[in-house]
Structure 1
Amino acid sequence: MCGRMTMTHPSDAMARLFDAAPSNDLPEVPRYNICPTQAVAVVTADGGSRRLRPMRWGFLPHWYKTPTDGPLLINARAETIAEKPAFRAACRERRCLVPVTGFYEWTKGEDGARLPWYFTPADGSPLVLAGVWQDWSRGEDAFTTLAIVTTAASPWMAETHHREPVSLAPEDWAKWLGEEGHGAATLMQAAPEGRYARWRVDPRVNSNRAQGPELIEPIAA
């Protein structure tokens, strides 16, 4: 799965990278512990032009009467995304790119403690995750929400967790956004070997209130 993320790349650099017009209300960076329900900057393709815009992490299906009317859908499984009522329309019509610096996964210690690991591209480049999004509103409440697409983990990733977020290479961005016709389903694969570096980090990141660059500093495993 993907349950916490980091973003340290400047928003203006991301706008240039994706050739996207940036919104003026993007979340501030750097961020070292992005949690569900918080705003995330994503790239969408609207009428032939790209936008870098904020969305609430935690997909809200249109039938939810309140934001807490059902489970918080932070991830969408690649294997069933085209069939699940919550995601099937978004999978066809509303796909987005989610640029981040890295993400966290957890293993369990011998005493049952949650041990966090940090994953980031081994070459230091921005990590671009596949997402789907949905507008949701009830009365005065209105959100644009997203979920990260996940798939079965590669053998290397499975040493830490059995799922991983779908990451997209630059040559695949346009296809995922729907700018190059059909074929997005073929992109929902595990990352190739060597894509990520990983290391253990301080359990302080287990708290959604923790912040700061020290959260991604390596510690002894």
Structure 2
Amino acid sequence: MCGRATIITPAADLEKRFNAAFIKGAVLNENVNISAGNKIPVITNEQPNHIQMFTLGYTPKWAHKQTYMINARSEGDLNPENNPQYKGAMGIFNKPMFKHAVKSQRCLVLVDAFIEGPKQEKLNKPYLVYPNRDRGPFALAGIYDTWQHPLTGELHHTVAILTSAANRITQRIEHHRAPVILSREDEEKWLNPDMSVAELSRMMEPFDSKGFNAYPISSKIKSPDANGLELLKPTGDKLFKDYDRCLYERLKYAEEDDYVIREERLVEGDQFVLF
């Protein structure tokens, strides 16, 4: 599963990256610890030119109460062993809760990183998974629906993140699942209502770990109320050695250009020495 998500990219930069504008009235709040019930930015196949804020935690429109399903298994019940080499059918197309949405209500879930822990320790031993080489925000494959509260009539726009079997990174974290990360080439395809089941199934395979890395962070992240950039500070080494800045360092410093001294993003309790 995808335990938590992070979005910290400013709205204007998010609009530029995904070539879409925030819908009128939508407010993007910086949140490094998005959990069930929180708002998360999405782009739906119904409004591909707009970014909206949906509730993380899927509830189908026919449900009697909110269900807050944050993840949907691509393989459904067809890969109970969570085999990373699974090449069979994607059972989500036959799951009553998800089969309608995956065929006609797909969306991009916009994040800067996601947070996952080992299958046993979970978020008691969390890792931040992020794109390296300063690549910025990316899209997770999502499905959505609108649920109406039976008593108040209030509409709730909800979303779930699709998951696949583990890839190289989440296997190293000792977690059995991974969110489905879409390549830039597949983002537009995922929103195309005319895509075949075969093509959609291809996009649901474990994401390519090249270009991504992870490092351990504080277990304080497990509290849904915890927030702030300091939660993304490394508590250990990266899973894979590279010479790129980690996400925490990338967000802490905003660089205007190559010739301007970097501007510090102040975090309570931190001290800096510039050379």
Same fold (TM over 0.5): yes
Q: How does 1:76-95 map to 2 (within 5 A)?
A: 76-80=72-76, 81-95=92-106
Structure with the bigger RCO (C-alpha within 8 Å, sep 6+) is 1
CA contact (8 A) 2:104 2:193 kept: no
Find the aligned partners of 1:113 and 1:50 in 2 and give their Cα distance: 35
Query: Which residue does the alignment assign to 1:119?
Result: 129
How far residue 180 of structure 1 moved from its aligned partner, in angstroms, is 6.2
Pair 1:60 & 2:73 matched: no
Query: Which residue does the alignment assign to 1:74?
Result: 70
Q: Once the two structures are superposed, what CA deviation does each residue of 1:138-176 show, in whole Å capped at 9, x if it has no partner?
A: 342210111000000113321221100000111111110
Query: Which residue does the alignment assign to 2:14?
Result: 14
Find the aligned partners of 2:131 and 2:144 in 1 and give their Cα distance: 24
Higher strand share: 1
CA contact (8 A) 2:139 2:182 kept: yes
Match of 1:148 among 152, 161, 170: 161
Find the aligned partners of 1:203 and 1:76 in 2 and give their Cα distance: 25
Q: Secondary structure of the equivalent of 2:54?
A: strand
Runs of 4+ in 1 over 6 A off after TM superposition: none
Identity of aligned pairs, percent? 30
Greater mean alpha carbon deviation, residues 156-165 or residues 90-99: 156-165
Find the aligned partners of 2:28 and 2:187 in 1 and give their Cα distance: 24
Amino acid at match of 1:53: Q
Find the aligned partners of 2:230 and 2:4 in 1 and give their Cα distance: 15
How far residue 106 of structure 1 moved from its aligned partner, in angstroms, is 1.3
Structure 1: runs of 5+ lacking an equivalent: none
Find the aligned partners of 1:16 and 1:198 in 2 and give their Cα distance: 26
CA contact (8 A) 1:45 1:51 kept: no
Query: Which residue does the alignment assign to 1:28?
Result: 28
Q: CA RMSD in A?
A: 2.0
Find the aligned partners of 2:149 and 2:218 in 1 and give their Cα distance: 40
CA contact (8 A) 1:40 1:55 kept: yes
Query: Which residue does the alignment assign to 1:134?
Result: 145
CA contact (8 A) 1:43 1:98 kept: yes
How far residue 193 of structure 1 moved from its aligned partner, in angstroms, is 3.1
* Higher CA-based Rg: 2
How far residue 2 of structure 1 moved from its aligned partner, in angstroms, is 0.6
Amino acid at match of 2:32: Y
Q: Once the two structures are superposed, what CA deviation does each residue of 1:160-219 show, in whole Å capped at 9, x if it has no partner?
A: 211000001111111100166332221011121323211110111111111110111101
Q: How many residues align?
A: 215
How far residue 33 of structure 1 moved from its aligned partner, in angstroms, is 0.6
Change in 2 beyond 3 A, CA 1:15/1:156: closer
How far residue 4 of structure 1 moved from its aligned partner, in angstroms, is 0.6
Give the TM-score of the pair, scaled to structure 1. Answer: 0.89
How far residue 45 of structure 1 moved from its aligned partner, in angstroms, is 2.9
Q: Secondary structure of the equivalent of 2:61?
A: coil
Find the aligned partners of 1:196 and 1:101 in 2 and give their Cα distance: 11
CA contact (8 A) 1:122 1:194 kept: no
Give the TM-score of the pair, scaled to structure 2. Answer: 0.73
Query: Which residue does the alignment assign to 1:196?
Result: 212
Find the aligned partners of 1:171 and 1:163 in 2 and give their Cα distance: 23
Change in 2 beyond 3 A, CA 1:79/1:53: same
Structure 2: runs of 5+ lacking an equivalent: 77-91, 238-275
Amino acid at match of 2:231: L
